[in-house]
């Protein structure tokens, strides 16, 4: 049990019932909107955080099945829809092609980078 008395185990139902109760009363949404207003952030909703979670978790190397389960998406296709790869993440992936010189020449790697909209080379 966590300090303060709330059981945060994923296997128990207390987390689910507590989260459901909080969302049912809208206090998370109100607190989130207030925090965004205080910080001067516009156009962000709690739903945006689902996209952020999926994107950052996938870019950290987590497999899609794990992201699916933790985000409670019904299908891998939904995880793919929610996760977005940053241009920097794509650029690093292209740079890793250079680690395989026997498989990809510099010209092929530049061609791949160019076709991905990454300027044809290392950013």
pLDDT at 57: 95
Q: Is residue 106 part of a domain?
A: no
| Average of per-residue pLDDT values in the chain | 76
Q: Is residue 121 part of a domain?
A: no
**Reported pTM:** 0.55
Q: Is residue 21 part of a domain?
A: yes
Q: What is the mean pLDDT of residues 80-90?
A: 92
User: Which residue is it, tokens 């049912």?
Assistant: 24
Q: What is the mean pLDDT of residues 66-82?
A: 94
Q: Is residue 103 part of a domain?
A: no
Greater pLDDT, 90 or 27: 90
Q: How many angstroms separate the Cα of 122 from the Cα of each of 6, 44, 90?
A: 49, 32, 11
Q: Is residue 10 part of a domain?
A: yes
54 exposed, middle or buried (CB, 10 Å; 0-12, 13-18, 19+)? buried
Q: Into how many domains does the chain fold?
A: 1
Q: Is residue 1 part of a domain?
A: yes
Q: Is residue 32 part of a domain?
A: yes
Q: Which domain holds residue 30?
A: 1-44
The answer, yes or no, to whether residue 111 has pLDDT greater than 70, is: yes
**3-state DSSP call for residue 62?**
coil
């Amino acid at each position: 049990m966590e300090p303060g008395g709330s059981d945060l185990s994923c296997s128990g139902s207390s987390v689910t019932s507590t989260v459901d109760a909080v969302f049912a009363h809208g206090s998370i949404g109100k607190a989130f909107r207030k925090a965004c207003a205080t910080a001067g952030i516009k156009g962000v909703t709690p739903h945006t955080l689902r996209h952020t979670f999926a994107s950052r978790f996938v870019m950290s190397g987590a497999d899609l099945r794990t992201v699916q389960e933790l985000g409670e998406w019904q299908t891998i296709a939904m995880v793919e829809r929610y996760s977005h790869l940053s241009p920097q993440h794509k650029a690093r992936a292209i740079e890793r092609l250079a680690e395989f010189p026997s498989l990809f020449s510099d010209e092929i790697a530049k061609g791949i980078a160019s076709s991905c909209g990454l300027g044809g080379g290392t950013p």
